[in-house]
Each structure stands twice: as C-alpha cells, then as structure tokens.
Amino acid sequence: MQIQVETDNHIEGRQALTEYVQGVIDDAVDKYRDHITHVEAHLGDLNSGEKSGSNDMRCLLEARVTGVKNIAVSHQAESLHLAIDGAADKLQHALASSVGKLQDQQRRAAPTGQLTADLLRDDPDAV
C-alpha cells in the first residue's frame, strides 16, 4: 500500500508532517490493508494562512480500494493534527462499511446449487 501526502503552500514542516500522516493512516487502515492499493492525503489551510480560526485546517483522504469505488473523506479542525486524526477515523469507518459490503456480496455470490448436485451424483440411490 502506498501513501502519498500533498500539502498546500501554507503548510510548514512537511517532512515531519508526512511521517505523522503516514503513521496515522497505517494505524487506521491496518485491518483493511489487503484491500487498499493507495491512499492520498491532501492537507490544507482553508483561510490561506491570512487568519486563523476554528475549523480552518482540512485533511482530505482518498483511498483506492480493490473491488469498490474510491473512498474519500475529509475533516476540518482547528489544528492540522486534529484534522488528520478526524479524517483517519472517518476513513476507518468508511472502509469498514465498504469492505464489509464487498465481503457480504462475495459470500452471497457463492454458488448454492453445486453442493446439492455433487451429493446427488455421489448417492447411488438417487434418481
């Protein structure tokens, strides 16, 4: 699984931030790692650094999951770390739902009449 981190021009400390984002995403998606090929994190300051306020930092996470559409979640918070953590929680819940539905569809798609046909063929008293 590849994790890519993108930031806007108003975000500082990119290397340390990239390592933090990768760690948070690794923890959040660990259970679904086999289903994910790529995760992109887009970090930004919604007020362009001109002023600060509540909920002006945003983290958008997009996960490419095999067998389903891409999953995108975002979270806004007063700090970048809170935005990242919030988006990771949302991604974890979205993955649980999507992967769960995918696994349920796969279970239901299993052939149902094959076992019965095999039993009848092996039974000498069958018609």
| pTM above threshold 0.85 | no
Q: For residues 107 and 104, give the distance between their C-alpha atoms in angstroms, rounded to a whole number.
A: 5
- CA proximity to 85, closest of 10, 31, 1, 25: 25
Where residue 67 falls (left for φ over 0; alpha for ψ -120 to 50; beta otherwise) is left
Helix, strand and coil in the chain, % to nearest 5: 45, 25, 30
- In the CATH hierarchy, which fold is given to the domain comprising 2-122? Double Stranded RNA Binding Domain (3.30.160)
The per-residue pLDDT for range 28-86, each reduced to its tens digit, is 999 989 889 999 999 998 876 566 567 789 999 999 998 788 999 999 999 999 999 99
